[in-house]
Amino acid sequence: MFAKETYIRRRERLKKDVGTGILLFLGNNEVGMNYEDNTYHFRQDSSFLYFFGLDYAGLAAVIDIDEDREVVFGNDLTIDDIVWQGTQPTLKEKSEVVGVHSTLPLGDLAGYLSRAAAKGQRIHFLPPYRGDHKIWLNELLGVKPQEQKAAASVDFVKAVVAQRNHKDAEELAAIEKAVDISTRMHLEAYRLAKPGVREATVAAAVERIASDEGIGLSFPTIATVQGQILHNHGYVHTLEEGQIFLLDAGAECSEHYAGDLSSAFPVSEKFTERQEFIYNLHLASFQAAVDTLALGVPFRNAHIAAAAKIVEGMKEIGLMKGNAQDAAESGAYAIFFPCGLGHMMGLDVHDMENLGEQYVGYPEGVAKSTQFGFKSLRLARPLEEGFVFTVEPGIYFMPELIDKWHAEKKFTEFINYDKIEDWKGFTGLRNELDYVMTKDGARLLGTVKKPMSIEEIYAAKNA
Ligand code: GLY
Ligand code: MN
C-alpha cells in the first residue's frame, strides 16, 4: 500500500477528469470454489486498489463528484468473522488510512445510489467482469447483466485508463520488484528443466518462489514443452531430450503489481540446428521490435517490425516468400505469430483488459482490428512516458492453424505450405521482457537480466 496522499491525489484527478456525477467502485468479494466457505485466493479489483488501496473483501466506494464527497461502504466484522478469520481494523480506521473520512454500512449503498439517481445525478460504473458484480449492479441500478457492458461509463473508463496507463516512480519500484521475483522464477526453471523432469515439477518450483517472495502469481503459469499452445495451462508432460521448454510466468508483488516474463530453452544441453535457427530468428525479431520503441511511435510499428523479421527468416528456409513488409502488413505472418507483440502491464498483468483494450491500447479514432493475428494485438498506440508494457514476440508452429490456412488457401502469395509440412512438429518458443517508456527511450525493467542469447541460456542451464 502507498501513502495516503497517493490515493487522495488519484481520486482528486479522477474527479476533475470525469467532471460530474457519481463514480461507483465495486470491490471484489470472496468467491466460493466448490462451496461458499472454500474460497478462491482473494484478489481485490485493481481499480478499487488503485484509487482506494483497501485490500479487503466486501467493500464498495462512491465518489460523489457533484457533492465532493467520498464514501467507503462496508461492514465491520461480526464476532463470528473474528473467531474464524481474525480481527481487522474497523471500516473507519481502514478508510482513514487512505484519506476517506465517510463510511457507511454496505446495505446503505442501494439507498445512496437511488437518492442520487432521483436527484438526476449520473451514476458511472465500470464494465463488470465477475458474476456477483453483475448481479449486484442489477440490484443497485436495475441494469440487466447482459446490458451492463454497453451501459458502463466510457467517461469513467477513459479517466481511469488515463491515470493507470502512466506509472509513477512508486509504481515503477513495485513493478520492478515483481519483475525481479519473476526473473528468479525463470532462473530456477533454466536450472531445473532437464530430461526426465516433469512440467508440473518445474511449475511448482517457480511458483514456490513467487509465493515465498510476494503475493503469488500474476497469472496462471505456463510451463510446457508444447509452447505452440499460447496459454497452455496443463502440466502433464515429462521433459524429453530434443524438446523446447517454454516458461511464461510472473509474480505479483506485495503492492499487487505484476511481472510477466517468458523464456524458451532446450531441454537437452543444446538446441538442435533447426531450433537454433528459429531461436536466433526470434531473437532478431525481438531486437527489431525493441529498436522501434520510441516516444510517440506506435507500438504497432514494433509489432510489424517483429513480424517482418520473422517473415525474412522464414523466407531464408523457404517457408515464406514475397515481400516481408507486405507479408507483415497483410497479416500473413500470423501463421507463425498469431498473437500480439505485447500488452500494458501494471496492477493487472494485461493491464485494465477488463476496461477494454480499445481504450487502454489504442488511440482515439483507431479501431482494434478483428483480423486473425492483429485482433490479438492488445497494444498499438503511440508510446508515452510512464507506459509499462511487455515485448514478447514468438514463433509457433501450430499444426491445426497451418492445416486450416492451407485448406483455405490463405495468403498463398506469401506462404509455402508444402515446405511447412516438414516443420509442423517444431512446437513454439518466445521470450518476454518488461519495459517502461521514459523520455530517454524504453528502459528494460528488472535489476537482473533474464537470459536471452544462446550463450546466456546455456550458462543459466548450468548455473
Ligand atoms: N503472460 C501471459 C500473457 O501475456 O498472455
Ligand atoms: Mn505477457
Q: What is the pLDDT of residues 23-34, one digit of tens each?
A: 999 999 999 999
Q: Which amino acid is at 278?
A: I
Paired sense of beta strands 388-391 and 244-249, if any: unpaired
Q: How confident is the model at residue 429 (pLDDT cuts 50, 70, 90)?
A: very high
What would the mean pLDDT of 193-210 be, rounded to a whole number? 98
Provide the grid cell at 100: 476517506
pLDDT at 233: 84
Collapsed DSSP state (helix, strand, coil) of residue 65: coil
Ligand 1 atom closest to 218 (CA): 1
Handedness of CA 437, 440, 444, 447 (dihedral sign): negative
User: 215-238: per-residue pLDDT in tens?
Assistant: 899 999 999 999 999 988 889 999
Q: Which of 185, 219, 434 is the pocket-test mutation for ligand 1 (most atoms within 8 Å of CB)?
A: 219
Q: Which residues line ligand 1 (CB under 6 A)?
A: 219, 248, 260, 343, 349
From 206, 341, 376, 432, the mutation candidate for ligand 1 (largest count of ligand atoms within 8 A of CB) is 432
Can you tell me the mean pLDDT for 383-398?
A: 98
Helix (H) / strand (E) containing 118: helix 109-118
Cell reading at 357 = 483494450
Per-domain residue ranges of the chain:
4-164, 169-461
Distance (angstroms) between ligand 2 centre and the Cα of 434 equals 9
pLDDT of residue 178: 98
Asked whether the predicted pLDDT for residue 190 surpasses 90, the reply is: yes
Q: Read off the pLDDT band of 200 (50, 70, 90).
A: very high
Is the fold of 4-164 the same as that of 169-461? no
Looking at residues 397-424, what average pLDDT do you find?
97
The sign of the CA dihedral 162, 165, 170, 171 is: positive
Atom of ligand 1 nearest to the CA of 392: 4
For domain 169-461, the CATH superfamily is: Creatinase/methionine aminopeptidase superfamily (3.90.230.10)
Given a cut of 80, whether residue 214 has pLDDT beyond it is no
| Three-point CA angle 288, 294, 298, nearest 5° | 85
Which ligand places an atom closest to the C-alpha of 249? Answer: 1
Kindly give the distance from the C-alpha atom of residue 251 to the centroid of ligand 1, in angstroms, as a whole number: 12
Whether 455 shows a pLDDT value over 80: the answer reads yes
Contact 48, 25 (CB under 8 A): yes
Residue 372 reports pLDDT greater than 80:
yes
What is the rounded average pLDDT for all residues in the chain?
97
**CATH for 4-164 (3.40.1360.10, 3.40.350.10, 3.30.365.10, 3.40.50.20):** 3.40.350.10
> Who's near 120: CB < 8 A, 6+ residues apart?
none
Give the number of other CB atoms < 10 A from CB of residue 400: 10
With the CA atoms of 271, 277, 282 and 286 taken in that order, what torsion angle do they form, in degrees rounded to the nearest 10? 100
The number of the ligand 1 atom at minimal distance from the alpha carbon of 339 is: 5
For position 215, what pLDDT does the model report? 87
